[in-house]
Structure 1
Amino acid sequence: MRLTELKGDLFAGSESSDPPAGMAHCVSADLRMGRGIAAEFRSRFGRIDEFRRQTCGIGEVAHLRLSDGRLLACLVTKQRYWEKPTYDSLTQCLQRLRQICLDQGVKRLAVPRLGCGLDRLNWRRVRELIEAVFDGADVCVDVYSL
């Protein structure tokens, strides 16, 4: 496992990796995705109905493959868009995401600072969670911030 913090555009960086990268971000179970990085994911990729059909609850991860082979994952960290996630709900999501990456052969994962934008989690703690959960996994995690 290797975590790398990068400055720049999450979407540009994830398009260039080989083998196909996974991309992940945090959402609420209602999948509103109306603000922040979630709104950008919604605008770029759509397919909200496919995520909704997976009926994921807190601590679960809705995911699908894009036409170019990349994995797109939505970490459900809270019930409604106005609520705030907990470190426990994020940890549960990260554990599921780790297994999905291993099962799907994703070796490189591009993410924003998960839960740290509008959701206001502390990046230092989130980074420690990511490192702990992905420890021993053959997955590189690239964390993008502007």
Structure 2
Amino acid sequence: MESSNTFKFTEIQGDLFTDSPPGDSLAHCISEDLRMGKGIADIFKKKFQGLQELKEQNKKVGQIAYLERDGRYIFYVITKEKYFQKPSKANFERALNELRVMCEEMDVRNLSMPRIGTGLDKLPLEYVHDVIKATFQGTNMRILMYYL
């Protein structure tokens, strides 16, 4: 990869599902138990289906499950074991590092996401921004983060 850093991170007010560019891959955080019963995870579960497909990938904390839908990837970033837990910063960072690796391997250049880790998981927004920037620095990616 070229040394000139073209990584761009932007936070935008808008609806992730209606406002993100149609070709963008999407990412959001879930628990290893794949419950996705609350928050934006519930919307992802209903919109993209594929629960059995995700279960068959048998991914653990710090790993990424994914679906392919309409020519783009939907990444399920696993940051904790059970839906009622809060992720540790170490697991959040480990999972984001894995997301970077997967994006590079799958040639994903454009990624849209909600304010991951900040809703039900209660991680500070500034911390999440810093981790995303540090993790994806040096990549050729554009990340858009949406909030309502």
TM-score per shorter chain, which class? Answer: over 0.9
Unaligned runs of 5+ in 1: none
Root mean square deviation of aligned Cα: 0.9
Alignment match of 1:5 (pick from 1, 11, 23): 11
Q: Is the 8 A contact 2:50 2:67 kept in 1?
A: no
In structure 1, the partner of 2:142 is 140
Distance in 1 (alpha carbons) for counterparts of 2:28 and 2:19: 15
Distance in 2 (alpha carbons) for counterparts of 1:53 and 1:75: 15
Unaligned runs of 5+ in 2: 1-6
In structure 2, the partner of 1:34 is 37
What TM-score do the two structures reach when normalised by structure 1?
A: 0.94
Any residues of structure 2 matched to 1:65-84 within 5 Å, and which? 65-66=68-69, 68-84=70-86
What TM-score do the two structures reach when normalised by structure 2?
A: 0.93
**Residue 28 (structure 1) shift:** 0.4
In structure 1, the partner of 2:91 is 89
Distance in 2 (alpha carbons) for counterparts of 1:100 and 1:48: 20
In structure 2, the partner of 1:49 is 52
The Cα offsets for residues 61-94 of structure 1, whole Å up to 9 and x where unpaired, read as 101211x111100011000000000111111111
- Poorly superposed stretches of 4+, deviation over 4 Å: none
